[in-house]
Structure 1
């Protein structure tokens, strides 16, 4: 066989292997894998960034933009997007029933992880995060595009929301009373202790400071490396086991508004395989609720200012 045709055949076989294995990515894909699969028809790429204009200034080629503030939440109720809303969004993004959906975004994939959690609630399979998100993709100088992707409408059909995958306020209070869950607060130590109610510059806040009584504190940032990628499964397992999170009890994660806790939910459920629910109401709901148990180590009192 001539060298040219041998090379052509090898390339075709390699592409076939890539396409055939698109649904076997696991919970994370590398930047190398994604760049080699940008033309893969089975892959649908969705950016979920929170900072305005990030997608428009440059995004991974082929990615569709999803706005966390409006697309993944109910615009009227404080709730996740409805089945109909999300199904329409995904179809417009070209997602088919057998697509592999890769999510990525800014701020260390916080909001991309939120997107993955919402997709999980509605039973979407074959979902992965780009390990390292925008931060790593840009740091490595990989290609960016400024034109929105033009994709044919997809045919995905969502299942009904699985409420067992989501923790609501009564679930958290019941878990505190029963002591049958591990509740993981992934906020900073100052937020956990009650020294501050919210990080500097953030408007979403609560009346009370502190944490859910009985919760353990494992800040989300401990789960990632310097370049934004998750630590290895072995390192993650040791990190959480040190705080008493070893998979022997169901887990509830929370933060301030649910996005950072989605990142930890992803590490614990998708990478380590633990039984985990995300409490998206988080501290802005819990810290404003009446009659719920709060531990305030710093003794901070809200002054109304």
Structure 2
């Protein structure tokens, strides 16, 4: 695999590809998903629908994602059918776009893609933004049963993973990893009682996978980071985690689709769960005793 030859290159589309296909609303749906849930209203790609990571993708009561019926309703009102090509993009280097992508994959939606470079690149190129909200005929969406086990890890599975000496990737900031900070700078504190990281985890901040223009780094550059620096390899089972599973969905996407790792799971319980569990193995370099 050479420089830009990603393992599953067709999962990425360019801003030009999106511009060329904006009118193909019968086959393609552009989806914007941002950390800033108000950003869509200030201007978005023409014909793009908005999927709110809080209101649309998460259950309003339990710490979990929407169920099959809720997912079907969301896609139906967004005009997305089972055979629709869904192209995600958003702010923060597609951080939340990959999160939405990951949730769609929990339900097995077949054709999901990411617009390489996200909002940043679209705007930098001077491309059109509009404020009008599109309306599409309701689709008849029939979701597969949510298959969490394929790409999602739960706490007991993570503990077994740690005890087996399998690789974990902590994608948070170095300060969160070291235990110096309990949460991401600028984000709300979500209640972790302990700082540090899961025992044995490697620190690879999620943003290292992205170039200055918001596009993903080349395959060679990505392998240099994850394999050359951290010793990961495609034949290992890998779990990625962060604070609530959003940043780690970006790393899950990179390892799974760009580098072709077949067994990568996202631990969305992440540090807000692990940092509150009793008796689990934690390493905290900021303290003399963990």
Q: Verify: 1:217 aligned to 2:203, yes or no.
A: yes
1:7-53 CA distance string (max 9 Å, x none): xxxxxxxxxxxxxxxxx972111101100010113111111112142
> Partner residue of 1:39?
23
Residue equivalent to 1:151: 136
Tell me which residue corresponds to 1:244: 231
Aligned to 1:264: 251
CA contact (8 A) 1:61 1:145 kept: yes
What are the Cα deviations for residues 145-198 of structure 1, in whole angstroms up to 9, with x where unaligned? 11111111122211111122210111111100111x310001111111111111
Q: Indicate yes or no: 2:103 matched with 1:118.
A: yes
Higher helix content, 1 or 2 = 1
Residue 74 in structure 1 maps to residue 59 in structure 2: yes
RMSD across aligned positions (CA): 1.7
Counterpart Cα distance in 1 of 2:115 and 2:195: 34
- TM-score by length of structure 1 reads 0.88
RCO comparison, higher one (Cα < 8 Å, 6+)? 2
Structure of greater Rg:
1
Pairing 1:106–2:94 present: no
TM-score normalised by length of structure 2: 0.92
Choose which of 156, 164, 175 in structure 1 pairs with 2:161: 175
Distance in 2 between the 1:289 and 1:166 partners? 19
Structure 1 unmatched runs, 5+ = 1-23
Q: Displacement, 1:107?
A: 1.6
What SS does the corresponding residue of 2:260 show, helix, strand or coil?
A: coil
How far apart in 1 are the matches of 2:71 and 2:284?
A: 38
| Contiguous gaps of at least 5 residues in structure 2 | 1-7
- 3-state SS of 1:71 partner: coil
CA distance in 2, matches of 1:299, 1:273: 37
Q: Measure how far apart 1:238 and its partner are.
A: 2.0
Q: Hey, which bits of structure 1, 4+ residues long, moved more than 6 A?
A: none
Aligned pairs, number = 278
- Work out whether 1:273 is the aligned partner of 2:260: yes
Alpha-carbon deviations, 1:245-283, whole Å to 9, x = none?
111211100001111101101000121121110011111
